[in-house]
Amino acid sequence: MVPAKSTSAVLLFVAAIALAGCGSRAPAARPEGEAAAQEAGNLTPPQLDSVRPGPTGITLAGAAPAGAKVRLATPAGQASFATADALGRWTLVRPPASEAQIFGLSASEHGRQVQAEGYVLVAPQGQAALLRAGTGALRIDAPARAGLRAIDFDRGGGVEVSAQVAPGATVILRLDGREAAEGRATPAGRFAVSLGSQTPIRPGAHLIQISGDGFADQVTAQLSPAAPLAQGPVRSQLNPAGLRVDWMTPGGGVQSTLLVH
């Protein structure tokens, strides 16, 4: 995926996110997390693995080094803190919100600090994901069934499709009725594929289908470039396909993530 060109307003918002605790460079796959751990003296980056909505707010839980101080910060600099217990588990409760929110997640211990990969996205309905610039989002909330989970895209015409299916399952993906990719899910049941690397996907409505042994899912997604983000670093809107989130990447571009269903 190719990030959109930056503007001065975008860069100001990105700087605000960085000061609040988000990374100052575009997040990548897991090797970057390992590199970050080495730079921080082998302090393992914190992880978010559970999101539970409730009447008093949304409970977030995850893993971090035992005794580490975990920081969850908004782009405006508002931070919540928790301390990982002896088993390396931490829990935070965020108050109810009417809009989707993004956070930077970090951990510190004995003067060392390490940043988690990507940005944490939490929606009022309980959807949650790890947003990663230039690649697909990782959904954190539990799926109701096997199927599509996230679709990421930008102005460059690149599209990243993510799904959750049975571990090791063969997945066939069709774009607008034509087979576009085939592959196997990971042992954790994650399937991800990049589209548009040779021929950029044109803007507009596209039918995305996946199928395999015992499962099938489809969604018609509007893969239209995001309008400028004039009110902040993130904008969300529900549509028939799911929750669309337009967000600013560390490089100053705008990436769109559709949390399917």
- Secondary structure (3-state) at 220: strand
* In a shared domain, residues 144 and 251: yes
Q: What's the CA gap between 41 and 153, in Å, rounded?
A: 35
Query: Does residue 169 belong to any structural domain of this protein?
Result: yes
In a domain, 3, yes or no: no
Structural domain including 217 reads 138-260
pTM across the whole model:
0.82
Mean pLDDT over the full length of the chain: 86
Tell me, what amino acid is at 131?
L
User: Tell me, what amino acid is at 245?
Assistant: V
Separation CA 77–CA 89 (nearest Å): 24
Q: What residues does 62 pair with on adjacent strands?
A: 48, 90
Residue 2 lies in a domain: no
| Residue position matching structure tokens 């839980």 | 61
C-alpha 121/C-alpha 230 separation (Å) is 19
pLDDT tens digit sequence for 104-149 = 999 999 999 999 989 999 998 889 999 999 999 999 998 989 999 9
Looking at the fold, whether 143 and 249 belong to one and the same domain comes out as yes
The per-residue pLDDT for range 50-62, each reduced to its tens digit, is 998 888 888 999 9
* 101 in Cβ contact with 124 (< 8 Å): no
Round to whole Å and give the CA distance between 135 and 131: 8
Looking at the structure, tell me whether residues 69 and 156 fall in a common domain. no
Question: Torsion over CA of 50, 123, 234 and 145, rounded to 10 degrees?
Answer: 70
In this structure, are 66 and 97 located in the same domain?
A: yes
